[in-house]
Amino acid sequence: RKRFEVKTLGFSSLELKNLIFFLGAVGRVAEVAGKSSVMMEIRTPKTHKAKRVLEKRAPKLVENGKKTLILHGTKTSATVSSVLMELYRLKKGGAIKYSRRNENIRPFESGGETSLEFFSLKTDCSIFVYGSHTKKRPDNLVLGRMYDHHVYDLIEVGIENFKSLLSFSYDKKIAPHEGSKPFICFTGEGFENVPELKQLKEVLTDLFRGEVVENLNLTGLDRAYICTAVSPTKVFLTHCAIKLKKSGTIVPRIELVEVGPSMDLVIRRNRLPNEGLRKEAMKSSKDKPKKKVKNVDQDDVLGKLGRVYIPEQEVGKIPLPDKSKGVKRERREGKVKKNKEEGSASKKLKESE
C-alpha cells in the first residue's frame, strides 16, 4: 500500500473550506437552486408591434398561410431568373425573394441545408424555391417545404419550353389581381399513379394555395393554374385568367385565357419526408379553438338570451346642435348670447360681433 502525505500549502483545513465556500458563493446565482449554473433572464418584447410579430410566428392550432422564399443558386441562367421573378410576382403578398447568389445552399446534400433553415427561421417561410443552372442540371428548380424550420421534403424539376408572362398578349382588363385566390387544376392519371408526380401535386397545391379563407368573394376569382401530366415524368404548367360569361343559370360560363408564365416541368430528383415526420406534420387537432362568446346565455325556458349594455344618459348634458347660423341676425345674436351665458363655446361669436 502506498501512502503519501499531501502538504496543502499552508492552508489549514478550515481555511480551505472557507475558500471553497467563497468560490461557490456567487451572489444571486447561489440562491437559485443548484440545477443551473448560469444566470438566466426573462426577455419580453418592449413594443406592441414586436409582440404581435412574435405571436404571429408562434405555432398555432389554425396556422397562417405559408410564405414562400425564393432564392438563387450559385449560377442562374436567364430562364431560371425570369422563372423566379415571375413566381415572385404571382405570389406577391406571401413571398420573399432574395436577390443574392447562395453558394453554400445545396438542398440535396446533408450539410447544405443549414443556410436554408436559417433563412426560413428568419423570414418565417415554410416553402422555398431554389433556382440554379449547371451543366449537369440545366434550368434547375428545387421546390421544398419545411416543418418547424427543418427541411421536410424536396422535389427537383427542370424547366423546359418556358414562356414568360410578358410574351403573352391579352386584354388587360382580365388581368388577374395580386393576391387573389386561384383555382388549381390537375389533369392526368400520372398524378395518381406516379409517386413523384403525387408529391409534385402536393407541393404545387401548397405553393399556389395561399391563405386558407372561410369567406370568399365570388367577383374576386380571376386566376387559375392548370397542371397537366403529359408523361410520367413531365408536367405542363400554365397560368390563366378567368373570364366569366353569362349563362342561363346562376353559374357563369368559364373561359380561360392564358396570361401568365407557362413551362414544362421535368422531374429530376426528389426526397420524400420520412414516415415519422410525415405523421407528425399531418397531425391536426380535432377540437376547434374555443371562442369565448360574451353576453350570451342559454336558458331552458326562454332559449337564447343576450345581454345589452346601454350607457347612462345624462339628459342635461346632451350636446345640441348650434343652429345660430340658420337664423336671422337678431335671433342669431340672441342665441349666441344665450349660449355664452350657458358656458358652451360658440364659433359664431366672431361673426356676431
Partner 1 sequence: MDMETDQIYQIDVGNLLAFNPNHRFSSAPSSREELVKECVTEGTKLVQAIADTLFNLPSTETNDGPLVQLPPPSTKLPREKHLPRPKPPTKWEEFALKKGIQKRKKDKIVYDETTDKFKRRHGYDRVNDDNDIPIIEAKASDEPGEDPFAKRLDDKKKRVGKQEKNRLENLKSAAKAGALPSHVQLAVTGLPISGTKAQPKKIGKEALGDVAGLAATSTASGGKFDKKLPGEKPPKKQGKHHKYLPVVPRYGWVDEEKEQTNKVLGKLLSKHSHEILNVGKAINMYNDKKEKKKSGRSDKLKAKKDITKKKPYANKAN
- Name residues contacting partner 1, limited to 173-202 (CB under 8 A): 181-189, 191-192, 201-202
For partner 1, the closer CB: 217 or 298: 217
Category of 343 on φ-ψ map: left (φ > 0), alpha (ψ -120 to 50) or beta: left
Radius of gyration in angstroms for the set of CA atoms belonging to the chain, rounded to a whole number = 34
Residue 78 is a binding residue for partner 1 (CB under 8 A) = no
What residues between 271 and 300 interact with partner 1 by CB under 8 A?
A: 273, 278, 280-285
Least distance to partner 1 from the beta carbon of 102, Å?
A: 21
Among 254, 266, 272, 349, binds partner 1 (CB under 8 A): 254
- What type of residue sits at position 102? N
Residue 345 is a binding residue for partner 1 (CB under 8 A) = no
Retrieve residue 39's grid coordinates.
444566470
Among 96, 175, 226, 349, binds partner 1 (CB under 8 A): 226
Pick from 274, 259, 69, 92: which is nearest to 171 by CA?
A: 259
Pick from 117, 121, 162: which is nearest to 138 by CA?
A: 162
For partner 1, the closer CB: 13 or 353: 13
Least distance to partner 1 from the beta carbon of 99, Å?
A: 24
Pick from 10, 140, 13: which is nearest to 79 by CA?
A: 140
Retrieve residue 56's grid coordinates.
404571429
Binding flags for partner 1, 25-64, as an x/- string (CB under 8 A): xxxxxxxxxx-xxxxxxxxxx-----x--xx-xxxxx-x-
CA distances to 151, 178, 215, 226, 293 from 290, rounded to whole Å, are 32, 33, 20, 38, 9
For partner 1, the closer CB: 44 or 298: 44
Distance CA 345, CA 333 (A): 14
Residue 240 is a binding residue for partner 1 (CB under 8 A) = yes
For partner 1, the closer CB: 8 or 74: 8
Q: Nearest 5°: phi and psi at 84? A: -65, -40
For partner 1, the closer CB: 220 or 326: 220
Among 219, 295, 298, 313, binds partner 1 (CB under 8 A): 219
Residue 19 is a binding residue for partner 1 (CB under 8 A) = yes
Question: What is the SS3 assignment for 189?
Answer: coil
Least distance to partner 1 from the beta carbon of 114, Å?
A: 19
Binding flags for partner 1, 129-168, as an x/- string (CB under 8 A): ----------------xxxxx--x--------x-------
Segment contacting partner 1 (CB under 8 A): 16-24, 85-93, 131-139, 295-303? 16-24
Looking only at the bridges linking them, the beta strands covering 150-163 and 140-147 are antiparallel
Taken in order 276, 281, 287, 291, is the CA torsion positive or negative? positive
Residue 205 is a binding residue for partner 1 (CB under 8 A) = yes
Least distance to partner 1 from the beta carbon of 248, Å?
A: 13
CB-CB contact of 95 with 68 (8 Å) = yes
Distance CA 284, CA 206 (A): 16
Least distance to partner 1 from the beta carbon of 51, Å?
A: 5
Residue 242 is a binding residue for partner 1 (CB under 8 A) = yes
Question: What is the SS3 assignment for 237?
Answer: strand
